[in-house]
Structure 1
Amino acid sequence: MNGDQTTFIEALGLLKTAEERVGDLEISQMISRFERCMAKIDVEEPASEFQDALVD
């Protein structure tokens, strides 16, 4: 996943609101999993840009 992450970020915001209202542990776990996924993507993206520069 790369590119515009606006929809993903908005969805996380809605999940956090639901988490506060409902207090469901599964929602908390889902948020954590998605945030880790996003962090991994953010870290990996510059590496792919670096590889593209090497290919050119």
Structure 2
Amino acid sequence: LLGLELNGFVFAYNYSYQSNSVVFDNGGYHQITLGFNFGCRKKRYNCECPWLK
């Protein structure tokens, strides 16, 4: 698994290989994920409720 986040853009790559007795294919599987984070908060939400802390 490999991932990178740069200026809100997200890129991730994953390679999986089945090694158990139930094999559907002889090869592995590649997965590529591209995304963008819209307006993510940098700070944690400040809750003034004492029972949640």
Band of TM-score, shorter chain: under 0.3
TM-score by length of 2: 0.25
Greater share of helix: 1
TM-score by length of 1: 0.24
Is the radius of gyration larger for structure 1 or structure 2? 2
Higher relative contact order (CA 8 A, sep 6+): 1
